[in-house]
Amino acid sequence: MPEFVDLILPLGDRKMAQDFFSNGFYQHTRLSNNARGLVVPERAWSGRDFQICYSLKSVERSEGQTDWPWSVRHCATHHTFDIENVRSTWIVVKGNRVLQERITSATSVRAPPEFLSYDNIENAFAAALSTHMIIVDWSAENWRWYINFLEDKFREITEGAISTDADIPLRSPKEAEDFFALGPRTNTQNTNQTRKSRSFSFLSAVHKTNTMPSVAETLPPQQFQINPRSGKKQPLPPGLSTTSPEGSKPQVVQHDIYGQPMFRFRHLQDIQDFEESANETVLVLKLNMSICKQVAEFYRSLFENKELPHTTLDKCQESMLRFERRMRGVISHMDSQILRVEGLLRLIADRKTLVSKLPFA
């Protein structure tokens, strides 16, 4: 099928995602004697067959990404079933061996009965449906854990925005000016980390420290600081942490004259990136649901095809009903995950509005 080439083009290592949301389902049916395809007796091709190809996506752990340990992965599948010679041909294209290992395990000596016998069309048809379910199950797994990760990350980066008394000055303007006169106000240093892997130090600092404004979120582990103007040691303000994680660099957080931490525009950009990841999740799940429905509808349509003998259809009816029940369960699971992400997106929109009202540095 030439359409299969379109499905495998998005695969591969790319600097920028292209055709990322390109999913599809295609089918060719040649069951009548008058519409036979290519006949190759040496390859047991009778020309009476049906072909389908489709693509699905799933989310998998990515151990190389410590701060964002999940990646959306693509899989393209092509299947041909020869109804006359009872022969199946599969092409599964994926970036790792996850599906290869699962299909190999399913067709091993200890595999379920439907995978072990191809001596008649009933068993071969059941084996084909079971193989499709291996791929479909892969497309639905891990979304629960990925969405849990999104929810935890969302709380981590926005908890400070709702826990800080932003309208209550911690010090009077005159006292704050005197305090900040102790040293220059230094801008937060930029890092080379990606937006998703930033530590969001501003928002977490707002949540953790609300007793006294500070020039630096973290200072070297000592009880005194040096006044850059006088060169003399001065005690640290009460409540200021005197320790920092081993090997970490001091992070400087700017404050306004009321002692409130200043908000930097990059924090709003971080939340925007997070919102895009959640929207991406919804779209991928909806595309997967659409493909799964089309696969199930195609196989059901075969039972309405007059070119197939009724005796053949009757033998395959049980495996078809089992396939439809499992497919409905997978689709229902995906739908429930979509509802979770849509609820998270509403919270993100509210928090983004709240964060955007904070003072900017």
Q: How far is 261 from 210, CA to CA, in rounded Å?
A: 10
| Between 340 and 235, residue with greater pLDDT | 340
What count of residues does the chain have? 361
Q: How far is 175 from 182, CA to CA, in rounded Å?
A: 12
Q: What is the 3 state secondary structure string of the chain?
A: CCHHHHHHCCCCCCCCCCCCCCCCEEEEEECCHHHCCCCEHHHCECCCEEEEEEEEEEEEECCCCCCCCEEEEEEEEEEEEECCCCEEEEEEEECCCHHHHHHHHHCCCCCCHHHCCCCCHHHHHHHHHHHHHHHHHHHHCCHHHHHHHHHHHHHHHHHHHHHCCCCCCCCCHHHHHHHHCCCCCCCCCCCCCCHHHCCCHHHHHHHHCCCCCCCECCCCCCCEEECCCCCCEEECCCCCCCCCCCCCCCCECCECCCCCECECHHHHHHHHHHHHHHHHHHHHHHHHHHHHHHHHHHHHHHCCCCCCCHHHHHHHHHHHHHHHHHHHHHHHHHHHHHHHHHHHHHHHHHHHHHHHCCCEC
- Contact by Cβ (8 Å): 258, 353: no
- Which residue's entry shows tokens 């109804």? 83
Query: What is the structure's pLDDT at 56?
Result: 95
- Which residue's entry shows tokens 């990841």? 277
Q: What angle do CA 196, 262, 197 make, to 5 degrees?
A: 10
- The answer for 239, left when phi > 0, alpha when psi is -120 to 50, beta otherwise, is left
C-alpha dist (Å) from residue 49 to 44, 84, 261: 11, 8, 68
Q: Which of 30-34, 82-86, 113-117, 268-272 has the lowest mean pLDDT?
A: 113-117
Q: How far is 221 from 242, CA to CA, in rounded Å?
A: 5
pLDDT at 286 over 70: yes
- Which residue's entry shows tokens 């930033």? 198
Q: Which of 67-81, 134-148, 200-214 has the lowest mean pLDDT?
A: 200-214
- The answer for 344, left when phi > 0, alpha when psi is -120 to 50, beta otherwise, is alpha
Residue 69: φ, ψ to 5°: -85, 35
Q: How far is 292 from 97, CA to CA, in rounded Å?
A: 22
Which pTM does this prediction carry?
0.71
- Which residue's entry shows tokens 């429905």? 293
Q: Which of 167, 149, 2 is nearest to 62 (CA)?
A: 149
- Contact by Cβ (8 Å): 360, 262: yes
| Between 54 and 184, residue with greater pLDDT | 54
pLDDT at 210 over 80: no
Q: How far is 232 from 91, CA to CA, in rounded Å?
A: 74
Q: Which residues pair with 89 in a beta bridge?
A: 80
pLDDT at 193 over 50: no
| Between 61 and 174, residue with greater pLDDT | 61
Query: What is the structure's pLDDT at 19?
Result: 65
pLDDT at 161 over 90: no
Q: Which residues pair with 74 in a beta bridge?
A: 57
What are 296-323's pLDDT values in tens digits? Answer: 999 999 988 887 777 777 788 889 999 9
Q: What is the mean pLDDT of residues 245-251?
A: 50
Question: What average pLDDT is seen over the chain?
Answer: 76
